[in-house]
Amino acid sequence: MGLLVGETVHQNMTRWHSVNILLGEKSKYALLLVLLISVLGSMLWTAPVQAEDELNCVLCHKFRGLSRIDESGNFRLFYINENLFMKGPHKRVNCMDCHRDIEKIPHDPAKKVNCTAECHLVEPSGKKKFSHKPVEKILEKSVHGRFDEDGKPKEYQEDYPTCKSCHEQPLYRPLSFFKGVSSGVSRRGLGRCKTCHQTGDFAEDFYNHVTSRLQKTRESKEIVEVCAKCHEDPAFQKRHGLDNVVASYKDTYHYKAIRFGSDRTADCVDCHIVYGESVHSVESMDSPTSATYKANIAQTCRNAECHHEAGEGIASYRVHVDYNNKEKNPMEYYMLKFFTGLMAVVLYFFIVVIFLELLRRLFPNFSFSSAERAEHRQSKSVTKGGE
């Protein structure tokens, strides 16, 4: 959540080096001076801070230039845009609930946050402390879990996603803010809650919590990009024996409509998650409980928001078609060859005819037949004589 709470923005150290080389020693100090002035300057017009920030972390982290190059050469930005943070899902969480290794201020470099830690919020339905642990459990069981059924680590551990592989800047965003869609707060509806729930902001937060989950929290285009981050990488596909499912998906009407701004056609998670289940529960198509298991496909397509009138036949529709793969998609391969061939024959034939027609106009009276040439010469002299 980079810009929000000061995560890392990775930049290659070499780029920093090249800045040094370009600028030279003196200019480097000049640059630092400019930075310092801009930091000090921004202090003057930064709005007063008011978050759930009892230790006033934003006192320092509100400055846009707050950054450094870490030991491994990455450029790290620690700036927190408080406006964005207060619209995000973690607005009621204290900084130290997640950044637990901070003991004194100013603090030492903080460790990476553990998303499954219990935080200090109490989950109202069960009166237990809140944690993202259930998500981790679902993820572990899914095809994206890093252990197989016997609990043994799978090959290529580093390829398996953690929370932040998907929920990371620039992909992790407090959605309603960027979408320009708020979670549908109806003041009138909220008024009914507030009649009884008068304490603090409980009613408003709870209302937001529920209504923001009534809609897709990310645009479909963004979801495709999240999955594509790994699944579009040829080396990744090769390591795991996967097809280029992103490319084949992008050939479908589903994607094309999404590409042009529709939110009514299916993205990756619409088909790869059993309807009504958590998006973290993607399973392999070989698993009998998977949404894409052969016997379940028709039901997946028929889910209430999509092809609810479809018959069983829809199960044999192939979404991920590789038109260049003779073995996997022979019908599509040969049909494409047929139409391409037909097109080539028709168009090349007419291109040749048109080209020859234009060429013929250049020398209208030339002919390989010597008799015709002689006839033409004669007719020319006759016309001349006639004049």
Partner 1 sequence: MQVYPKINYRGGKRYFFRFSLVQRMQHIVLFTCVITLSLTGFPLRYHDQPWAEPLYNFMGGITVAPWIHRGAGSILLGLFFFHTGYWLYLFFKHRVGRLIRDDELTVGNFFKEFFSMEMIPRAQDGRDIVAMFKYLLYFTNKPPQYNRICWKEKFDYFAPYWGIPILGPAGAALWWRDEFTQIFPGWLLNAFYIMHTDEALLAALFIFFVHWYNVHYAPEKFPLGTVFLTGYLSEADMIHEHYAEYTETMKAEGLEHEIKLQGHH
Beta bridge partners of 147: 153
232 near partner 1, rule: CB under 8 A: no
Asked if 176 and 212 touch (Cβ cutoff 8 Å), the reply is: yes
Closest to partner 1 by CB, 44 vs 356, is: 356
353 near partner 1, rule: CB under 8 A: yes
Contacts of residues 309-317 at CB distance under 8 Å and 24 or more positions apart, as own/partner, are none
385 near partner 1, rule: CB under 8 A: no
340 near partner 1, rule: CB under 8 A: yes
- The residue range among 51-59, 143-151, 255-263, 270-278 that interacts with partner 1, by the rule CB under 8 A, is 255-263
Query: What separation in angstroms does the CA of 201 have from each of 58, 190, 204, 205, 207?
Result: 22, 11, 5, 6, 10
- Among 210, 294, 366, 378, indicate the residue that binds partner 1 (CB under 8 A): 366
Contacts of residues 255-264 at CB distance under 8 Å and 24 or more positions apart, as own/partner, are 255/224, 258/220, 258/221, 258/224, 259/221, 262/220, 263/216, 263/219, 263/220
CB neighbour list of residue 69: distance below 8 Å, 6 or more residues apart: 13, 16, 75, 76
What is the token pair recorded at 321?
């078609």
Closest to partner 1 by CB, 24 vs 330, is: 330
363 near partner 1, rule: CB under 8 A: yes
- The residue range among 3-11, 72-80, 223-231, 362-370 that interacts with partner 1, by the rule CB under 8 A, is 362-370
Distance CA 202, CA 200 (A): 6
Asked if 142 and 135 touch (Cβ cutoff 8 Å), the reply is: no
**Could you say which residues in the range 259-278 bind partner 1, by CB under 8 A?**
259-262
Distance CA 116, CA 174 (A): 19
180 near partner 1, rule: CB under 8 A: no
Give the number of other Cβ atoms within 10 Å of residue 79's Cβ. 19
Query: Does an H or E element contain 75, and which?
Result: strand 75-77
253 near partner 1, rule: CB under 8 A: yes
Closest to partner 1 by CB, 92 vs 376, is: 376
Site string for partner 1, 305-334 (x = CB under 8 A): --xxxxxxxxxxxx--x---------xx--
Closest to partner 1 by CB, 207 vs 255, is: 255
Distance CA 257, CA 264 (A): 8
The DSSP string of 269-331 is HHHHS-TTS-TT----TTSTTSTTSGGGHHHHHTSTTS-TT--GGGGG--SS--TT-TTT-HH
Closest to partner 1 by CB, 198 vs 383, is: 383
Closest to partner 1 by CB, 209 vs 256, is: 256
368 near partner 1, rule: CB under 8 A: yes
- In the complex, minimum distance from the CB of residue 305 to partner 1, in angstroms, rounded to a whole number: 13
The site for partner 1, by CB under 8 A, has a size of: 50
- In the complex, minimum distance from the CB of residue 295 to partner 1, in angstroms, rounded to a whole number: 14
- Among 364, 370, 384, 385, indicate the residue that binds partner 1 (CB under 8 A): 364
Burial pattern 267-283, b for ≥16 Cβ within 10 A else e, equals: bbbbbbbbeeeebbbbb
Closest to partner 1 by CB, 104 vs 308, is: 308
Closest to partner 1 by CB, 26 vs 361, is: 361
Binding site for partner 1 (CB under 8 A): 250, 253, 255-257, 259-262, 307-318, 321, 331-332, 335-336, 339-340, 342-343, 346-347, 350-351, 353-354, 356-357, 359-361, 363-369, 372, 376
